[in-house]
Amino acid sequence: MILQQRLLVSAMALTMASGSQPAAAAPWVRGFVVGAYEYAFRYGGRPDYSRGAEIEPGVDCPHGASVHFASDSRTKIAVARQKWRSQQEIDWISAPPGLDQVRGPNLTRFYIWDRALSHRGYKKEIETYVNPFATDDPGQPQVTGRIGDGFNLDGKIKANDFVSPAGEKGIDNNLYRAWGCDAPWRGNGNATLDLRANDKMQDGLYTMVIRVSGNQDPRNDSDATVEIGYSPDKIVKDARGSVSVDYSYRILQPAQYTKLKAAIKNGVVESEQVEHLHTPRIAWFYDQTGDTNFTKGKIRLNIAPDGFTGTGLIGGYRNWRDLYAENTFAQDGGQQGIREHEDHVALYYALRRNADGMLNPKTGKYDGISSVYRVKLASAYVVDPDKPMGIPKLALDEDRKIAFEATKLAMIKGTDTHIPQLVPPGTSEAAVGIMEGLLEDLPSKDYFLKTLYRQHYPGEDENGFPPWADLYRRYVPLKAPKPKQEANAGGEAAKP
Cβ 142 vs Cβ 350: under 8 Å: yes
Residue 485 included in any domain? no
Domain limits at 344?
2-45+140-398
Question: Does 100 lie in the same domain as 155?
Answer: no
DSSP states along 312-348? EEEEEEEEHHHHHHHHHTSS-HHHHHHHHT--HHHHH
Question: Does 259 lie in the same domain as 118?
Answer: no
Question: Does 471 lie in the same domain as 378?
Answer: no
pLDDT above 60 for 486: no
Cβ 287 vs Cβ 397: under 8 Å: yes
Number of domains, the chain:
2
Helix, strand, coil distribution of the chain in percent, nearest 5:
30, 20, 50
Residue 414 included in any domain? no
pLDDT above 60 for 303: yes
Task: Report the pLDDT value the prediction gives residue 44, as an integer from 0 to 100.
Answer: 67
Cα angle, residue 324 at apex, residues 323 and 325 outer, rounded to 5°: 95
pLDDT above 60 for 1: no
Question: Does 362 lie in the same domain as 323?
Answer: yes
Return d(Cα 181, Cα 225) in angstroms, integer: 36
Residue 230 DSSP SS3? strand
Question: Does 174 lie in the same domain as 91?
Answer: no
Task: Report the pLDDT value the prediction gives residue 47, as an integer from 0 to 100.
Answer: 61
CA-to-CA dists, residue 105 to 335, 382, 420, angstroms? 16, 50, 33
% residues pLDDT > 90 (the chain):
75
Q: Is 460 left (phi over 0), alpha (psi -120 to 50) or beta?
A: beta
pLDDT tier, 484 (very low <50, low <70, confident <90, very high otherwise):
very low
Question: Does 312 lie in the same domain as 181?
Answer: yes
Q: What H or E segment, with its residue span, contains residue 223?
A: strand 221-231
Residue 249 DSSP SS3? strand
Residue 297 included in any domain? yes
Task: Report the pLDDT value the prediction gives residue 471, as an integer from 0 to 100.
Answer: 55
Task: Report the pLDDT value the prediction gives residue 455, as an integer from 0 to 100.
Answer: 94
Question: Does 241 lie in the same domain as 190?
Answer: yes
Residue 412 included in any domain? no
Mean pLDDT of 191-206: 94
Residue 67 included in any domain? no
Task: Report the pLDDT value the prediction gives residue 472, as an integer from 0 to 100.
Answer: 54
Between 188 and 388, residue with greater pLDDT = 388
Return d(Cα 189, Cα 197) in angstroms, integer: 10
Residue 11 included in any domain? yes
pLDDT above 60 for 13: no
Question: Does 206 lie in the same domain as 89?
Answer: no
Question: Does 380 lie in the same domain as 232?
Answer: yes
Q: How far is CA 261 from the centre of its chain?
A: 28
Indicate yes or no: pTM above 0.85: yes
Output the average pLDDT for the chain: 88
Residue 482 included in any domain? no
Between 3 and 391, residue with greater pLDDT = 391
Question: Does 302 lie in the same domain as 428?
Answer: no
Question: Does 150 lie in the same domain as 6?
Answer: yes
DSSP states along 255-319? SSEEEEEEEEETTEEEEPPEEEE--BPP-SSGGG-SB--EEEEEEEEEE-TTSSEEEEEEEEEEE
Residue 480 included in any domain? no
- The runs of H, that is alpha helices, within 333-479 are 333-340, 344-354, 398-417, 434-438, 445-451
Mean pLDDT of 374-386: 97
Q: Which of 470, 415, 487, 342 is nearest to 130 (CA)?
A: 415
Return d(Cα 316, Cα 323) in angstroms, integer: 13
Mean pLDDT of 409-438: 93
pLDDT tier, 254 (very low <50, low <70, confident <90, very high otherwise):
confident
Instruction: Give the pLDDT confidence of 84-96 residue by residue, as tens digits.
Output: 999 999 999 999 9
Task: Report the pLDDT value the prediction gives residue 483, as an integer from 0 to 100.
Answer: 45
Among 382, 398, 414, where does a domain finish? 398
Question: Does 180 lie in the same domain as 92?
Answer: no
